[in-house]
């Protein structure tokens, strides 16, 4: 089966930098996604990594190490609106299908 | 452009009843996936349909079924509802069979309450 682990909750200060880690165990790895989900809303796509390395998108960056089964999402210049749940999801290929498995999410609280 | 639309937004059903949830993907998207999200957890994969064929199935009982229509819209059906089926049901669409660089675009979901 697939196993994804990420911290349950993190807190940070407005303007700071925060790193949310995600570790996974999977076979047939086909990429890793990060999503942001505000309370009561649908998840929104942030990033996708399929090769090792860092992908940067504005204030958000995502890193992947396939050999270590490890990824992180880096949020810079934190804003209050960044308070949300951050979901790590691994896409894997199994039985002819691409199956995405989500972690439980990391609830990020940004305070002034 | 319209995003992924789901209907209804909220639904209350009684144990043992049947429910049908509907999803319209973004125009041009051929892949539709269904997820169940319980409060405090990440979405759990139920089904993926691509080009009107089932391409993936998660670990859900046979009471759950789905289909995709020629216009790529989709329905999720749940029979013999249980209290534990109460959750947010999310639909996501993608232009390709796999999310890859596009990611999956989620609808706002249907909040199902079983009483």
The Cα of B115 is separated from the nearest Cα of chain A by a number of Å equal to: 21
Q: How far is the C-alpha of B84 from the C-alpha of B40, rounded, in Å?
A: 14
Tell me what pLDDT residue B97 has.
Answer: 72
Q: A-chain residues within 8 Å CB-CB of B48?
A: 97-99
| Band of residue B36 on the pLDDT scale cut at 50, 70, 90 | very high
Nearest chain A residue to B46 by CA distance is A99
Average pLDDT, chain B: 93
Q: How far is the C-alpha of B50 from the C-alpha of B68, rounded, in Å?
A: 8
For residue A27, what are its two tokens? 């076979």
Identify whether the C-beta of residue B74 lies closer than 8 Å to the C-beta of residue B45. Answer: no
Tell me what pLDDT residue A84 has.
Answer: 97
Tell me what pLDDT residue A22 has.
Answer: 98
Record: contact B106-A42, CB cut-off 8 A = yes
Question: How far apart, in Å, are the Cα atoms of B97 and each of A17, A49, A84, B20?
Answer: 35, 17, 28, 24
pLDDT tens, residue by residue, A45-103: 999 999 999 999 999 999 999 999 999 999 999 999 999 999 999 988 877 777 889 99
Record: contact B97-A99, CB cut-off 8 A = no
Record: contact A98-B103, CB cut-off 8 A = no
Question: How far apart, in Å, are the Cα atoms of B90 and each of A1, A12, A67, A82, B75?
Answer: 22, 29, 32, 22, 12
Tell me what pLDDT residue A88 has.
Answer: 96
- Dihedral sign for Cα atoms in the order A45, A51, A54, A56: negative
Q: How many CB pairs under 8 A join A and B?
A: 67
Strands B44-50 and B31-37: antiparallel
Name residue, tokens 């452009």. B1
According to DSSP, residue B26 is labeled P
Whether cis (ω within 30° of 0) applies to the bond prior to B105 is no
Mutate to test the interface with A, among B99, B110, B111 (most CBs of A within 10 A): B99
């Amino acid at each position: 089966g697939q196993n994804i682990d990420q911290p349950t909750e993190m807190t940070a200060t407005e303007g700071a930098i925060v790193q949310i880690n995600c570790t996974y165990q999977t076979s047939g790895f086909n990429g890793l996604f990060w999503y942001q989900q505000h309370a009561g809303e649908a998840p929104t796509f942030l990033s996708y990594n399929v090769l090792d390395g860092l992908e940067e998108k504005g204030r958000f960056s995502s890193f992947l190490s396939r050999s270590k089964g490890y990824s992180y999402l880096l949020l810079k210049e934190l804003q209050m609106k960044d308070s949300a749940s951050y979901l790590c999801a691994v896409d894997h290929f199994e039985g002819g299908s691409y199956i995405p498995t989500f972690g439980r999410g990391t609830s990020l609280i940004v305070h002034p | 452009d319209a995003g992924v639309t789901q209907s209804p937004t909220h639904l209350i059903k009684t144990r043992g009843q049947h429910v049908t949830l509907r999803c319209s993907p973004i125009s041009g998207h051929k892949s539709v996936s269904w997820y169940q999200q319980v409060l405090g957890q990440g979405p759990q994969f139920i089904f993926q349909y691509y080009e009107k064929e089932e391409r993936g199935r998660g670990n859900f009982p046979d009471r759950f079924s789905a289909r995709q229509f020629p216009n790529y819209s989709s329905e999720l059906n749940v029979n013999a509802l249980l209290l534990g089926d109460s959750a947010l049901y999310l639909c996501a669409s993608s232009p390709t069979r796999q999310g890859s660089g596009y990611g999956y675009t989620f609808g706002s979901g249907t909040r199902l309450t079983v009483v």
